[in-house]
Amino acid sequence: MSQQITPELRQWIIDQARAGHRPEAVLAAMRASGWEETVALDAMETTLQGFMDTLQKPAVQPAPLAKVAVPEPRLKDRPSVVMAGDRPVQVLMTMDNPRVVVFGGFLSEQECDQLVELARPRLARSETVDTATGGSEVNSARTSSGMFFGRGESALHQRIEARIAALLNWPVDHGEGLQILRYGPGAEYRPHHDYFDPDQPGTPAILQRGGQRVGTLVMYLNTPAQGGGTTFPDVGLEVAPLKGNAVFFSYAHPHPDTRTLHGGAPVISGEKWVATKWLRERVFA
Ligand code: PD2
Ligand code: ZN
């Protein structure tokens, strides 16, 4: 008479495995209770393989995160200097994961000073977008203040925006207006991601205009005496804040696995001024 592998037998085999009994012991127990060796082995093999598969596969597979095109400088031929529209810019450092590129001499001294003087009378306590509501909230950093310029609001802005677009191969109309931040002594920008958190209820409203942020260019408008570097804690990287230099990073999907967590380290002495350009997936009108 042929022996049947019943659901009860399968469950019993799984229970033995769960209880930590070795396969040889389970086989011996089956043989002792009259199971033919080949049938017992077959039952164990098929049952345990199916059981291992259920352990490895989560019942609900997370939806794969859609990757999109991102801004990216043309660095395939490893140039030491790239032409960014109207200005040659040095390539000081590149990293692949996270994608980070540090540029030297992106802005002239005069352009830095002009941005600071245009922003100074318009500064207010720094705000960051609150994705819970879609509105704004004051950043917890102690003495930082900031403002947003409108895109293309002066010839200076247009020139710098065109340079960013040329450097990063990303259309001017996909960029937000420049944000200026001023940090006093002790001020910092705690580590954060620049993309909008997909799990926050306010995010869909924010994404209506231009989609996700996919890249950031932080430009240093002065050189603080001490402190104020831009940090990437996931990879132990700190970019020195040198006047006219800039750090670029991109994130193809809004997830921490992009390793683009970054912050502004506390300014120890002096002050720190930066201009930040955020680049969106689509036209930001
Ligand atoms: O000022 C910085 O170094 C910094 C750090 C992190 C700026 C930003 N984020 C930002 O503007 O998003
Ligand atoms: Zn940031």
pLDDT digit string (tens) for 215-259?
999 999 999 999 999 999 999 999 999 999 999 999 999 999 999
- 191 CB near ligand 1 (under 6 Å): no
Q: Is the domain of 47 the same as that of 187?
A: no
CA distance 108 to 244: 6
pLDDT value for 92: 98
DSSP 212: -
- The overall average pLDDT reported for the chain is 87
Q: Is the domain of 145 the same as that of 239?
A: yes
Q: Is the domain of 23 the same as that of 87?
A: no
Percent of the chain with pLDDT over 70: 76
* Domain-embedded: residue 255: yes
Domain count, the chain: 2
* Domain-embedded: residue 76: no
pLDDT value for 144: 85
Residues 49, 55, 57, 61, CA torsion sign: positive
**Quick one: pLDDT band at residue 67, thresholds 50, 70, 90?**
confident
**Quick one: pLDDT band at residue 11, thresholds 50, 70, 90?**
low
Mean pLDDT of 127-148: 60
**Which residue has better confidence, 180 or 7?**
180
Instruction: Tell me the pTM.
Output: 0.76
* Domain-embedded: residue 68: no
Residues of the domain holding 88: 81-280
120 C-alpha to center of ligand 1: Å? 18
Q: Give, using CA atoms, the residue closest to atom 4 of ligand 1.
A: 264
* Domain-embedded: residue 45: yes
The answer to whether the CB of 275 falls within 8 A of the CB of 179 is yes
190 C-alpha to center of ligand 1: Å? 9
State the ligand closest to the CA atom of 193: 2
pLDDT value for 135: 45
* Domain-embedded: residue 254: yes
The answer to whether the CB of 224 falls within 8 A of the CB of 242 is no
Mention every residue, 6+ apart, whose C-beta is less than 8 A from residue 135. Answer: 129, 202
Query: What CATH number is given to the structural domain containing 187?
Result: 2.60.120.620
Q: Is the domain of 48 the same as that of 103?
A: no
Q: Is the domain of 138 the same as that of 274?
A: yes
Q: Is the domain of 93 the same as that of 19?
A: no
Mean pLDDT of 196-222: 98
Q: Is the domain of 222 the same as that of 151?
A: yes
CA distance 75 to 101: 10
Q: Is the domain of 231 the same as that of 97?
A: yes
Residue 265 alpha carbon, nearest atom of ligand 1: 3
Q: Is the domain of 100 the same as that of 240?
A: yes
Residue 272 alpha carbon, nearest atom of ligand 1: 1
Q: Is the domain of 168 the same as that of 237?
A: yes
* Domain-embedded: residue 109: yes
Residue 239 alpha carbon, nearest atom of ligand 1: 3
Q: Is the domain of 21 the same as that of 104?
A: no
264 closest CA partner among 198, 214, 219, 212:
219
Least confident of 32-36, 99-103, 115-119, 146-150: 32-36
**Which residue has better confidence, 73 or 136?**
73
- 224 CB near ligand 1 (under 6 Å): no
pLDDT value for 49: 66
Residues 36, 41, 46, 51, CA torsion sign: positive
83 C-alpha to center of ligand 1: Å? 25
Mention every residue, 6+ apart, whose C-beta is less than 8 A from residue 283. Answer: 171, 173, 174, 210
- From 56, 73, 91, give the residue that closes a domain: 56
* Domain-embedded: residue 236: yes
- 265 CB near ligand 1 (under 6 Å): no
Percent of the chain with pLDDT over 90: 69
Q: Is the domain of 28 the same as that of 134?
A: no
Which pLDDT tens digit goes with each residue over 75-129? 999 999 999 999 999 999 999 999 999 999 999 999 999 999 999 999 997 655 5
* Domain-embedded: residue 136: yes
Is 137 a residue whose pLDDT tops 50? Answer: no
